[in-house]
Amino acid sequence: MRIAKIGMRTVKTVIAVLLTLGVSEIFKLSSPLLASIAAIMTIESSIAESFTTGKNRIYGTILGGIIALIMSYIVPLNFFFIGIGLIILITICNMFKWSKAVRMAMIVFLSIALNYEGIARFNYAFDRTLDTLVGVIIGAAINYFIRPPDTEEKIKDIINSTYLDIKDILEKLIWNKEINKLEDLKNEITNIEEGYKIFTKDLKFYTGKNSNEIYYQKLFNSFEKIHNHLSVIYSIKELPVINDNNKDVIESYFNKEIPDIEYDEKDDLDLIYNYHLEKILSELAIVDSMI
């Protein structure tokens, strides 16, 4: 059985947990387990996601604790008022667009409402917030200072993969008359856009690093145009007549000849086909020169 390679994220997660447990022992935190869970959840695939996850856990913990404490001093926390409290939590999170903090807020709220009475409720809410804060700080710090995730490298990998897939799609279309579904290509283009958004968020945590915004925007636009032109071509017919200009460009690009096929006559669909094929080749040349 082949043993999988241990990744850096795994290593950082273990370091974060051990460090959190050590800090919990030194400062006698009430729940090293909860602090460790917060540290684990904060080790994300990007710096921005780490801080966002940590922020959401802290928001949820504080909000859940505050609502539980306020309601416990006003009304008896029976099933009816617990339901009201959950509705209040969800409403507040939606109001402030804290959608990813909702579950944590509800967990803390229910933990206090169902398990604690009197001063114990306040102590639990305070301890839970402190434990979460410690875990989040340690997890985010480990992810930031120990070999931080290279989100730009991931974008480049997706771009190269998308470029090769487009070449493969075009080659199969021209030489094999094979029409493939374009959903995978569309997903790759979407991944490039999403990856770039994460990369730009990560840049806020670094100084002097270039975002290469124009570079990635041009690549993204070219991939989008290629996808759109391919969609039109796929809707026409399987055996078009490729004009001489496109044929020369394609043969030069792939370094092999396109077999000659006799046709009775060319029609308007062939003109449409060659127009979109020319546009694909033009955008592909732009991508090729950039990467």
In the predicted structure, residue 262 carries a pLDDT above the cut 60 = no
User: CB–CB of 109/67 below 8 Å?
Assistant: yes
Domain boundary residue, one of 122, 145, 168 = 145
Looking at the fold, whether 205 and 134 belong to one and the same domain comes out as no
Report if residue 164 sits inside a domain.
Answer: yes
Domain range enclosing 109: 8-145
Give CA–CA dist 136/53, Å, rounded: 8
Tokens matching residue 51: 């801080």
Domain boundary residue, one of 145, 167, 199 = 145
Looking at the fold, whether 13 and 135 belong to one and the same domain comes out as yes
pLDDT for 206-259, tens place per residue? 766 666 778 888 888 999 999 999 999 888 766 677 888 999 999 999 888 887
Domain boundary residue, one of 80, 115, 145 = 145
Q: Give me the pLDDT at residue 3, please.
A: 60
Report if residue 157 sits inside a domain.
Answer: yes
Report if residue 1 sits inside a domain.
Answer: no
More confident residue, 54 or 173: 54
Looking at the fold, whether 52 and 126 belong to one and the same domain comes out as yes
pLDDT for 15-47, tens place per residue? 999 999 999 999 999 989 999 999 999 999 888
User: CB–CB of 230/284 below 8 Å?
Assistant: no
Looking at the fold, whether 112 and 53 belong to one and the same domain comes out as yes
Report if residue 243 sits inside a domain.
Answer: yes
Q: Give me the pLDDT at residue 238, please.
A: 63
Q: Give me the pLDDT at residue 280, please.
A: 93
Looking at the fold, whether 131 and 178 belong to one and the same domain comes out as no
Q: Give me the pLDDT at residue 137, please.
A: 94
Report if residue 86 sits inside a domain.
Answer: yes
Q: Give me the pLDDT at residue 179, please.
A: 76
When divided into structural domains, the chain yields a total of: 2
pLDDT for 115-171, tens place per residue? 777 678 888 888 988 999 999 999 999 999 998 888 888 888 999 999 999 999 988
Report if residue 2 sits inside a domain.
Answer: no
Looking at the fold, whether 160 and 41 belong to one and the same domain comes out as no
In the predicted structure, residue 264 carries a pLDDT above the cut 60 = no
In the predicted structure, residue 60 carries a pLDDT above the cut 90 = yes
* Helices (H) then strands (E): counts for the chain: 11, 0
Looking at the fold, whether 56 and 118 belong to one and the same domain comes out as yes
Looking at the fold, whether 136 and 178 belong to one and the same domain comes out as no
Looking at the fold, whether 159 and 280 belong to one and the same domain comes out as yes
The amino acid present at 56, given as its one-letter code, is N
Report if residue 3 sits inside a domain.
Answer: no
Q: Give me the pLDDT at residue 13, please.
A: 95
| Percent of the chain topping pLDDT 90 | 46
Looking at the fold, whether 139 and 166 belong to one and the same domain comes out as no
Give CA–CA dist 239/173, Å, rounded: 9
pLDDT for 173-206, tens place per residue? 888 887 777 888 888 888 888 888 888 888 778 7
**Helices marked H in 78-150:** 79-95, 102-115, 119-145
Report if residue 72 sits inside a domain.
Answer: yes
Q: Give me the pLDDT at residue 1, please.
A: 53
Looking at the fold, whether 128 and 164 belong to one and the same domain comes out as no
The DSSP line for 258-290 is PPP---S---HHHHHHHHHHHHHHHHHHHHHHH
Looking at the fold, whether 178 and 258 belong to one and the same domain comes out as yes
User: CB–CB of 173/291 below 8 Å?
Assistant: no
In the predicted structure, residue 75 carries a pLDDT above the cut 90 = no
Q: What is the mean pLDDT of residues 263-271?
A: 67
Q: What is the mean pLDDT of residues 261-269?
A: 61
